[in-house]
Amino acid sequence: KAGVTQTPRYLIKTRGQQVTLSCSPISGHRSVSWYQQTPGQGLQFLFEYFSETQRNKGNFPGRFSGRQFSNSRSEMNVSTLELGDSALYLCASSLAQGGHNEQFFGPGTRLTVL
C-alpha cells in the first residue's frame, strides 16, 4: 500500500507570492491534516479535513487555507507569502477523526521564502 505522498518536495518562492501544496493520503484514509514545522515553533497544527469539510483549525492567519477533494486528496494554499512562512509542511492521513486514529505522515514539502 502506498504511503502519503506530497508534492512538490521543495519550493522556493519570494515574498508576496502564493503557493499551493498537494497531499495524497493513504488509500482508504479520509482524514487529512496539515502541520507546519519550523526550528523556532516546532510542529504546529494548521487544519484537518474530513469528507471534504474542514473539521478543525489551528491558530494561523487567514492567508493559510486548504481544501479536500472527493478522492480525499488535499491541497493547502498560502497567499501573500512572508519570510516567516519558510518551513517544512507536513501532511498526515488517518482512517477517520478522533484521538485513537493513528496519523501517518508524508515526506513533507520544504518551502523557502526569499
Residues interacting with other proteins, by CB under 8 A? 31, 33, 35, 42-43, 45, 48, 50, 55-56, 58, 88, 90, 92, 97-108, 110
Closest CA to 47 of 3, 4, 91, 102: 91
**CA 26/CA 91 separation, integer angstroms:** 11
Neighbours of 97 (CB within 10 A): 16
Neighbours of 110 (CB within 10 A): 15
CB-nearer residue toward other proteins: 13 or 105: 105
Q: Least distance in Å: CB of 10 to other proteins?
A: 10
Q: Least distance in Å: CB of 16 to other proteins?
A: 26
CB-nearer residue toward other proteins: 15 or 57: 57
Q: Least distance in Å: CB of 96 to other proteins?
A: 10
CB-nearer residue toward other proteins: 42 or 62: 42
CB-nearer residue toward other proteins: 81 or 93: 93
Q: What is the DSSP letter of 54?
A: E
**CA 97/CA 41 separation, integer angstroms:** 25
Q: Which residue has the cell 496519523?
A: 103
Q: Least distance in Å: CB of 3 to other proteins?
A: 9
